[in-house]
Structure 1
Amino acid sequence: MRNVLAVAITLVLLPALALARLEAGAGLSLAWPESDFKDHVEFAWGGGARIGYGIGSVSPVVVTFFGDINYLNYGRERRIEPFSTTIPDVVVDVVTDNYMFMVDPGLSIGLRYGPVRPYGEMSFGLTYIATKTRIENHSLASEPIAESTNFSDFTYNLGLGGGFKIPVWRKNIDVKLIELSEALIDIKFCYLKGGEAEYLKKGSISRQSGQVRYETILSKTDLFQVRIGASFVF
């Protein structure tokens, strides 16, 4: 009986998988902390990207299984310091970034056709929250001279949101050299329910007499996020 059921499921899914469309996109991310996270952080900015497969090429509704990555910087500090105590006449930039990096698989359901295509989605994944300090050449863009992670932690996130896509280009004829079939503007709103994490923020690192002190914060990491970008269907 189990073998028959497995064969039946395979026969149902194979046509859908064969007609699955590859989708990819990227955009600018803006985020506002919620809950007790906003007591410590005001705003975050960054960018994200995703790749997915949309199933249901005949139906007006498309179901997309996707993987999403997102980077958010919630505080940057830059200061000028002597290169060393023995070389005070050479200065460097010391840059400290507080950031979050999220990896989220998820499911999206939306309209396949139309001038405006609304959709809803949900996701569940991991959040890496960290603070990193690096040394750069002063007033000269270059690779970091040295860098170190001051503090880091992991937690989970659960996302629920939606948005809409506006098509701006569509391939009307079959051109073998062009695999892209559609380009769309993608605007998404999402509430991320973040788990509890320990982290640093701007001002959490103090230095005195050659010693470093970290004042860590423990709280939830909820966010309301807006992403504005582009989506491509192949």
Structure 2
Amino acid sequence: MQRISCRIFNRISSRATYPTYMAALTVLALLFSLARTAPANAQDAEVVDVPPYVITGFGILGGFPTGEFGDNVKNPGIGISGYVGYMIPRTPAVIGLDLGYMIYGHERRTEQFSLTIPDVLVGVVTENNIFSMNAFLRLQTTPAPLRFYVEGVVGFHYLFTSTTIEDLPRFSGEDIASSTNLDDFAFTKGVGGGVLIEVWSGGEDRTPQNRTLRSVSLELRMRYHDGSEADYLKRGDIVRREGTAELNITKSTTDLITAHFGLAIDF
């Protein structure tokens, strides 16, 4: 599991561009800055259940292609996702940003290192991936052990297929080389909804001057993403013959249903 987590992190780090990182970090910094400057009654120091201002979450992400995308990609994707949001005081609104990464196709084979070194074997891994970034506006019920919300999202999906050469054995080998076979962007918009089930509460210890961790909840969320057209590869779309690789590129809309299950933390 640790190796899989590191592999996912390395994939995201190596594929996301510098402007993408800067945009994400800028939005995250703004959200935390807003939370720190949220109004509080300085004269009210008694212990009260101060409403949270920041919610953050992380968990497992599942992706289910639908529409034209589903006609072409039959298998679901699996990955991770995380988000941070700012709860606008005295309103049910939450604004935020989330990131996700999933693999929707995976192939592995063993090859000779080269024609001149046939006695050394390496692993060759091809993966079809989606990296996503979405801004969201959420309307949710007031803090309680059971909360529901609906939301609208807008963002993009970065679809890319990469091939990596790995040292063997499989579970201890290091990456030798990698290449991106094809990549493209798809702009997305969509709607979703979810439920938060509180499993721990620390509201009794909070004051306006000491906003400690308020609660931890289980979160289940579903979203529908209406994706624009993009070029992409499916599992098996790289055909190798006579020392060359041919790409069977597919172009279609990229509609996607995602399911997120994880933990949400209120501050």
Whether these two folds match at TM > 0.5 is yes
Residue 113 of structure 1 deviates from its aligned partner by: 2.3
User: Is 1:18 the equivalent of 2:38?
Assistant: yes
Moved more, 150-159 or 132-141: 132-141
2:117 match: secondary structure: coil
Long gaps (5+) in structure 1 = 1-13
Match of 1:135 among 122, 141, 165: 165
Q: Which runs of 4+ in 1 moved over 4 A?
A: 14-17, 174-178
**Residue 212 (structure 1) aligns with:** 245
Are 1:38 and 2:58 matched, yes or no?
Answer: no
- Secondary structure of the equivalent of 2:69? helix
More helix by share: 2
Cα distance in 1 between the residues matched to 2:149 and 2:217: 13
Deviations 1:21-59 (A, max 9, x none): 122111111121110111111211111100111112xx4
Residue 174 (structure 1) shift:
4.2
* Cross-structure match for 2:97: 67
Single out whichever of 122-131 and 133-142 deviates more from structure 2: 133-142
Letter of the aligned partner of 2:219 in structure 1?
A: D
How high is the sequence identity, in percent, across the aligned residues?
35
CA contact (8 A) 1:160 1:190 kept: yes
- State how far apart, in whole Å, the 2-side matches of 1:22 and 1:163 are: 17
1:181 shift after superposition: 1.6
Residues 138-153 of structure 1: matches in 2 within 5 Å?
Answer: 138-139=168-169, 140-153=171-184
- Stretches of structure 2 lacking an aligned partner (at least 5 in a row): 1-33, 40-51
Deviations, residues 177-199 of structure 1 (Å, cap 9, x unaligned)? 98322111110011111111011
In structure 2, what residue type is equivalent to 1:101? F
Matched, 1:27 2:39: no
Contact 2:35 2:86 in 1 (8 A): no
TM-score normalised by L of structure 2: 0.77
3-state DSSP class of the match of 1:98? strand
For the 8 Å contact 1:17–1:55, the answer to whether it is kept is: no
Alpha carbons 2:134, 2:153 under 8 Å: kept: yes
Report the CA distance shift for 1:93/1:113 in structure 2 as closer, same or farther (over 3 A). Answer: same
Q: Shift in Å at residue 144 of structure 1?
A: 1.1
Other structure's SS at 1:141 match:
coil
Amino acid at match of 1:18: A
Q: 2:194 aligns with which of 134, 138, 163?
A: 163
Decide whether the 8 Å contact of 2:206 with 2:212 is kept in 1. Answer: no
Distance 1:222 1:89, change over 3 A: same
Counterpart CA distance in 1 for 2:149 and 2:37 is 21
Letter in 2 for 1:93: G
Count of aligned pairs: 218
* Deviation larger for 170-179 or 79-88: 170-179
Work out the CA distance in 1 between the residues paired with 2:164 and 2:181. 10
Q: Distance in 1 between matches of 2:145 and 2:180?
A: 46
Checking the alignment, whether the CA contact within 8 Å between 1:16 and 1:55 is kept in structure 2 is no
Note the C-alpha offset of 1:141. Answer: 2.6
Aligned to 1:198: 231
Q: Distance in 1 between matches of 2:121 and 2:205?
A: 59
Q: TM-score, normalised by structure 1?
A: 0.87
Preserved CA contact (<8 Å) 1:122 1:160: yes
Between the aligned partners of 1:142 and 1:25, the Cα distance in structure 2 is 32
